[in-house]
Structure 1
Amino acid sequence: MSDANLNENITLLGYRENLYNYLKYSDCYICSSKSEGLSTTVIESIILDISIISTDCGGWI
């Protein structure tokens, strides 16, 4: 990431019990799952009108 100078713009938080408090202030949601299809967090991102970046792993999106 240091080549793109994004260190001050991207924060990896790790596991959180309740994502909503972070998601509602996000510009984009990244779902990098290898096997999970349409996750609850992707649905929440759609409801909050947040852009989604996701791997191709099934679901209806």
Structure 2
Amino acid sequence: MLSDVLRDEGYTVDVATDGQQGLHLGLSRQYDVLAVDRRLPGLDGLDLMGRLRSRGGGE
């Protein structure tokens, strides 16, 4: 639902259905904002953000 609202407002949105896909997107693209579900399958949202930050992404 959030992705639909953001798209309707004119934003470009990528959606990852699990933590591994989110990690891949986070490492291969640049984003202004990440909205992360803490209960992602495979790799939860907190671990995902920790891995992205440890690799120089996010502040």
TM-score interval, normalised by the smaller of the two chains: 0.3 to 0.5
Under a length normalisation based on structure 1, what TM-score does the superposition of the two structures give? 0.45
Structure having the larger proportion of residues in helix: 2
Indicate the structure (1 or 2) with the bigger Cα radius of gyration.
Answer: 1
Under a length normalisation based on structure 2, what TM-score does the superposition of the two structures give? 0.46
